[in-house]
């Protein structure tokens, strides 16, 4: 706060509030000043916050809106510079804040805890790992269930059900089930389309455990796919394995991206690998470090990232394979363990 010349910081994002205070609910606000820390939530969460919020915070029940309560309770210094999470506060809430608490200079902060958060503690890795194990088991179950004629939306619903019934808090994001030509859309929404024999299906899903996420992609075949799609599969798998083999602390993220990208380009599919190699994973699905061809982020021990190259052929289909890994000094540990050889059901 000192180095940024701030007199107070408002932390409003759900993951930010959770990281700072321990509160897991969806409505909360932390107000941090150089001397004190306050936590505000509404009556729905009074009891829950009592059990969750760190004793370092003074809890303030908000009988009206959170910013109204900040204004009423006078927890902010009389004047000064107040930082806020620019990537969380909507324009509407920001206007409301300025109206309710005039007389301050507001400073947008971005990536407030991102660098801190990018290196995970042991407990954080344990939660991601638990989420990864659940997603692995869900994948195993799906293999018993997916048949020609199944609708993408039913497979997606099944993934959500299995996540929850296996002990996850919920999905980490809407499951992606993209069959046949729809596999060429990297983030396809599951539709009512029925999976046909001879098609590849991209399954991309994850769950949350204690707020931490898993993110797993496997591409399977329902009946024997075309020679071209099988070739694409082996190229993507090689690229993914090579990137996992190269991942270690000290590496610059763009160089890791380059390992997979070169392998895919050498097979002639360079222009069909249309997204970044991966991303940091934790309380957010996408967080620091960035794992792209432009990223200068340096990998450090304790970072958790995804490695997920893909090749997408419009009109034909797509292949993506994704694992979650923890970076170590001399390599990485893979948290997801679902099989990766091409499974033809």
Q: Which positions ≥6 away from 4 have C-beta within 8 Å?
A: 83, 107, 109
Partner from Mn ion, ligand GLY, none binding residue 49, C-beta < 5-8 Å depending on class: none
CA angle 327, 212, 257 (to 5 degrees): 35
Tell me, residue by residue from 118 to 157, as one string, x for binding to ligand GLY by CB under 6 A and - for no binding: ----------------------------------------
Query: Tokens 């790992």 label which residue?
Result: 129
Buried b (16+ CB within 10 A) or exposed e, 38-72: bbbbbeebeeebeebbeeebebbebeebbbebbbe
Side-chain-side CA neighbours of residue 304 (13 Å): 28
Q: Which is nearer to Mn ion, 127 or 306 (CB)?
A: 306
Judged by CB under 6 A, the residue of 69, 204, 297, 324 near ligand GLY is 204
Judged by CB under 5 A, the residue of 152, 215, 323, 324 near Mn ion is 215
Give me the least distance between CB of 6 and ligand GLY, in Å please.
32
> What is the C-alpha end-to-end distance of the chain, expressed in Å?
56
Partner from Mn ion, ligand GLY, none binding residue 104, C-beta < 5-8 Å depending on class: none
Contact between 287 and ligand GLY per CB under 6 A? no
Of residues 214 through 243, those in contact with ligand GLY by CB under 6 A are 215
Stretch that binds Mn ion, among 62-70, 187-195, 299-307, 331-339 (CB under 5 A): 299-307
Contact between 287 and Mn ion per CB under 5 A? no
Contact between 306 and Mn ion per CB under 5 A? yes
Name the DSSP letter for residue 188.
P
Which positions touch Mn ion (CB under 5 A)? 215, 306
């Amino acid at each position: 706060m000192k180095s940024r010349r701030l007199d107070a910081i408002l932390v409003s994002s759900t993951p930010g509030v959770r990281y700072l205070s321990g509160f897991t609910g969806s409505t909360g606000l932390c107000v941090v000043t150089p001397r004190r820390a306050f936590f505000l939530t509404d009556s729905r969460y009074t009891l829950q916050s009592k059990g969750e919020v760190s004793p370092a915070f003074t809890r303030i029940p908000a009988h009206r809106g959170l910013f109204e309560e900040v204004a009423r309770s006078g927890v902010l210094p009389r004047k000064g510079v107040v930082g806020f999470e620019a990537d969380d506060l909507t324009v509407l809430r920001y206007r409301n804040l300025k109206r309710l608490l005039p007389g301050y200079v507001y400073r947008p902060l971005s990536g407030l805890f991102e660098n801190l958060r990018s290196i995970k503690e042991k407990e954080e890795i344990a939660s991601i790992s638990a989420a990864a194990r659940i997603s692995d088991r869900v994948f195993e179950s799906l293999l018993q269930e997916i048949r020609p004629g199944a609708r993408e939306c039913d497979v997606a619903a099944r993934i959500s059900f299995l996540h929850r019934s296996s002990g996850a808090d919920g999905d980490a994001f809407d499951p992606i089930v993209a069959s046949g030509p729809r596999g060429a859309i990297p983030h396809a929404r599951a539709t009512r389309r029925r999976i046909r024999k001879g098609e590849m299906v991209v399954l991309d899903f994850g769950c949350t455990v204690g707020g931490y996420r898993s993110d797993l992609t496997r591409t399977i075949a329902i009946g024997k796919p075309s020679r071209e799609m099988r070739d694409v599969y082996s190229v993507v798998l090689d690229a993914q394995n090579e990137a996992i083999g190269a991942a270690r602390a000290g590496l610059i993220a763009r160089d890791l991206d380059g390992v997979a990208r070169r392998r895919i380009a050498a097979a002639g599919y360079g222009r069909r690998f249309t997204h970044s190699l991966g991303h940091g994973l934790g309380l957010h699905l996408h967080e620091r470090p960035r794992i792209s061809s432009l990223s200068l982020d340096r990998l450090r021990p304790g970072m958790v990232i995804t490695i997920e190259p893909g090749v997408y052929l419009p009109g034909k289909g797509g292949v993506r394979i994704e694992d979650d890994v923890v970076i170590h000094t001399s390599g990485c540990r893979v948290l997801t363990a679902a099989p990766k050889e091409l499974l033809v059901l």
